[in-house]
Amino acid sequence: MDIQIRDIYKGFGSFPALRGANLDIRSGELIALLGPSGSGKTTLLRTIAGLEFPDAGQILFGGVDTAPLPVSERRVGFVFQHYALFKHMTVLDNITFGLRVRKSKNRPDKDAIRKRALELLDLVQLSGLEKRYPAQLSGGQRQRVALARALAIEPSVLLLDEPFGALDAKVRKDLRRWLRELHDKTGVTTIFVTHDQEEALELADRVVVMNRGSIEQVGSTSDVYERPATPFVFDFLGSVNVFPGTVKDRKLSIDGANVTLDTDNDHAAGAVDIYVRPHDLRVVEEGSSGFDVTIKTVQRTGAIVRLITQLKHNKEIVEVELAHLDPQAINRKVGESIRLQPAIYGLFPRASHDSVRTLPDVDPLAVPEHRERGRLG
């Protein structure tokens, strides 16, 4: 089932939870709604489900406006963070509940319902546990039961609200892999909410990054991570250095040193903020294009050598991450001067750091005019 979301607005009192959300979801996609608390991702999910009603806009399933459709007719399976299983029912009864409460004309017979439940138990790898109660299951098993219950009604759309948020790290990782395999088997259009960047990037076909009720960027996992459309996306998806520079005559000046912009980068002249991830900085030889820093600390964490460095003139801190086998990572010492070159970076017009991290609304479906990406090497 394909879904079209058109100019959705939703407020709670004076709080704007959604501000003109637009999104197209292709049939069979696995989509992640990613963002911090209060970004509007759960409100958007509940609006798709019909549990919230938008103040303005449309949600279409397969081109059909869902506004007149009650929840029961939307064929949506919903999985809550805390499972919402019936404690007094067995696993089998929990899974079959949605089928058993259907109107008689749409309800399968008892044998068909039981067969469907047993097939789902096998699909979610819980065969043999149909007589247990939720209290007799682990957290991961309860979440699988909740997913089986949502799938029992043969939904056109599966919606999951922070499905692994209540589980420990190892179980979450195992279930993420399992959910991806389950989605590939069923092919049901699936949308899940998460604030965990790793979870979104590992699971989803595309990621929808949300901030303050608006969609900042929509793209593949590589797009949103490697080509962030806004400073917020850059900052939210992993560690990033932010330091000042200027652009003039196709030269990027960093702390007084010039770096030649690549041929695809036509950023307007003026003051900029440079966004570069720690692992996208390279240590290069003197005389190479780059800028100089002084090492303040050297930290070894597993396979990563982390250098905390400082620009020589304006004293901004720049963090560098190198693989421990990288020759440039060996025998680095505090106080040493090294030259860095940004292999991949983003340029945005100069802004205060506070305003950078709470950017106003942008159109996520267009290439923002204020965004530039750079790549060296």
| Domains delineated in the chain | 3-226 (3.40.50.300), 239-375 (2.40.50.140)
- What confidence category does residue 259 fall into, taking pLDDT thresholds of 50, 70 and 90? confident
Residue of 277 and 377 predicted with greater confidence: 277
User: In percent, how much of the chain has pLDDT > 90?
Assistant: 45
pLDDT confidence tier of residue 366, bands split at 50, 70 and 90: very low
Round to whole Å and give the CA distance between 157 and 49.
9
Find, among 270, 244, 247, 250, the residue nearest to 262 by Cα.
Answer: 250
More confident residue, 108 or 307: 307
Tell me what the mean pLDDT of segment 130-142 comes to: 89
- Mean pLDDT (whole number) for 294-298: 95
Alpha-carbon gap, residue 334 to 336, rounded angstroms: 6
What pLDDT, on the 0 to 100 scale, is given for residue 170? Answer: 74
pLDDT attached to residue 106: 79
Task: Give the pLDDT confidence score for residue 265 in this predicted structure.
Answer: 63
pTM: predicted TM-score of the whole model, two decimal places: 0.81
Least confident of 45-59, 113-127, 254-268, 347-361: 347-361
- Among the listed ranges 6-10, 149-153, 229-233, which one has the minimum average pLDDT value? 149-153
* pLDDT of 46 over the 90 cut: yes
pLDDT of residue 80: 80
Nearest to 34 by CA among 156, 187, 149, 203: 203
Cα 48 to Cα 24: distance, rounded to the nearest angstrom: 12
- What is the band of 279 on the pLDDT scale with cuts at 50, 70, 90? very high
Give the DSSP letter of residue 74.
S
Beta-bridge partner residues of 209: 34, 217
The answer, yes or no, to whether residue 83 has pLDDT greater than 80, is no
**Which CB contacts under 8 angstroms, 24+ apart, belong to 365-369?**
365/22, 365/218, 367/229, 368/229, 368/230
Which residue(s) pair with 16 in the sheet?
Answer: 11
pLDDT band at 374 (very low <50, low <70, confident <90, very high): low
Q: Coil, strand or helix: which one is 178?
A: helix
Residue, of 222 and 287, whose pLDDT is higher: 222
pLDDT band at 71 (very low <50, low <70, confident <90, very high): confident
Report strand pairing: 189-194 vs 30-34.
Answer: parallel
In this structure, are residues 77 and 148 in contact, taking their beta carbons and an 8 Å threshold?
A: no
Round the average pLDDT of the chain to a whole number and report it: 86
Q: Are 139 and 167 in contact (CB under 8 A)?
A: yes
For the stretch 205-244, pLDDT in tens is: 999 999 999 999 999 999 999 889 999 999 999 899 999 9
pLDDT surpassing 90 at residue 104: no
Out of 144-153, 193-202, 285-294, 365-374, which region has the weakest mean confidence (pLDDT)?
Answer: 365-374
Half-sphere exposure of residue 75: CA atoms within 13 angstroms, side-chain side: 14
Q: What's the rounded mean pLDDT across residues 81-95? A: 86
